[in-house]
Amino acid sequence: MDRKRALITGITGQDGAYLAQFLLSKGYEVHGLLRRSASADVIGSRLRWLGIADSVVLHDGNLTDLSGLLRVMQEVKPAEVYNLAAQSFVKSSWQQPLLTGSVTGLGAANMLEAVRIACPDARFYQASSSEMYGLIQEPVQSETTPFYPRSPYAAAKLYAHWMTVNYRESFGLHASSGILFNHESPLRGIEFVTRKITDGVARIKLGMQDKLALGNMDAKRDWGHARDYVQAMWLMLQQDVPEDYVIATGRTVAVSEFCRLAFEHAGLTMEDHVVQDERYMRPAEVDVLLGNPEKARKNLGWAPETTLEMLVAEMVEADLQRLRHHEHL
Ligand code: NAP
Ligand code: F7E
């Protein structure tokens, strides 16, 4: 029997790598979109870290180039398409608002067009984000909470989110959005606060640096593990009816609390090392996010397996190991 074929945009990112690993374990033939880079050595480092770089098929393409996306879609003919590619760093979206709009927003529209034209029977997943709630309109956010984006990134994601809903309603595409709250892992990009903290803690522990400079430590996030969250993406596409789902843990803690847990895991005291630096503050902040994953629990049978304490421990240990072995990610 032919293996089921999936196409992942953003396969070289944190979620793309874990999703590829998960789909391979389910017996899928996994294809991914790869944007060309002159720094070929860093491309695919996450796939290599998971030991799956040779098990996936990569196709040249960019989310901003519809013709290329159409070509890939015609070539692969995927049964499932996961649109994870984006300019995903919120802070950068104020420096590059148009690029963010074009990749994170219009890029999703390009993908929907490519699916509608070349592969209308494929099931489509859009990586929506809790950042869309921004200035929160309800203390606990669910699928029915109104959105209030607070960054060019969030505004672009909101456009992509509504385009996904619109293509489902207009053309009958099997298109679902996962409104995912922050999820982290040892494969998280180094500029995001959790990985910046665990990498910093590991460096301080190994005597490679003494201080860690952070921005707003009072911001609160609902943090889960990427490995758990990619399973929810897959579950959404296995449903008969496409819908949108909040994926979260239901627990929120401040950046300072994440930081304290990471320092404590390494036997260090946060107050001896952390300094505040204006450079890491944002023009507009999302103060607190807290998701209600009840619909996903009920309809998908999904629940997170990793606690915050387990996540912090895994990330600190991975960074200690990497630095001891002079590995980079
Ligand atoms: P990530 O690590 O930043 O990965 C982003 C991926 O997008 C990378 O593979 C990147 O390729 C690719 N990409 C960027 N611009 C592209 C372009 N123009 N054309 C093609 N590919 C492009 O992000 P992540 O944390 O895995 O998140 C996955 C998705 O979920 C993103 O859409 C993100 O916005 C969304 N999301 C993330 C979270 C979270 O907490 N992680 C929560 C909610 C939603 P390169 O490797 O070449 O840079
Ligand atoms: O910031 C505060 C910062 O950059 C979290 C993306 O995956 O999740 C992510 O977006 C919080 C913010 O992630 C530093 O101000 C303090 O309040 O790790 P972050 P994010 O902005 O929440 C959502 C759901 C996505 O969709 C995005 O793609 O931490 N913070 N000090 C800091 N943040 C950073 N990066 N660096 C600091 O030094």
Same structural domain, 36 and 73: yes
Same structural domain, 122 and 216: no
Same structural domain, 217 and 82: no
Locus of tokens 């629940």: 303
**Are 174 and 241 contacting, i.e. CB atoms less than 8 angstroms apart?**
no
Same structural domain, 205 and 121: no
Predicted local distance difference test score (pLDDT) of residue 219: 98
Which of 21, 42, 59, 84 to mutate to test ligand 1, by most ligand atoms within 8 A of the CB atom? 84
Same structural domain, 128 and 262: no
Same structural domain, 174 and 198: no
Predicted local distance difference test score (pLDDT) of residue 327: 84
Regarding the beta carbon of 185 and ligand 2, being less than 6 Å apart is answered no
Domain that holds residue 195: 189-221+252-289+307-324
Residue with more model confidence, 37 or 324: 324
Same structural domain, 19 and 107: yes
Residue 2 buriedness (CB in 10 A; 0-12 / 13-18 / 19+): exposed
Same structural domain, 281 and 133: no
pLDDT at residue 152 greater than cutoff 80: yes
Same structural domain, 143 and 281: no
pLDDT at residue 1 greater than cutoff 90: no
Same structural domain, 51 and 195: no
Distance 13 CA to ligand 1 centre (A): 5
The CATH number given to whatever domain includes residue 10 is 3.40.50.720
DSSP class of residue 180? E
* Helical (H) or strand (E) element with 7: strand 5-9
For residue 279, give both structure tokens. Answer: 């450079």
Mean pLDDT of the chain: 97
Beta strands in 94-170 (DSSP E): 123-129
Q: Which residues line ligand 1 (CB under 6 A)?
A: 9-10, 12-16, 33, 35, 37, 62-64, 84-88, 103, 127, 129, 180, 182-183, 189
Half-sphere exposure of 323 (CA within 13 A, CB side): 19
* Helical (H) or strand (E) element with 225: strand 224-225
Q: What pTM did the predictor assign?
A: 0.98
Same structural domain, 108 and 173: yes
Number of domains forming the structure of the chain: 2
pLDDT at residue 123 greater than cutoff 90: yes
Q: Does any domain span residue 298?
A: no
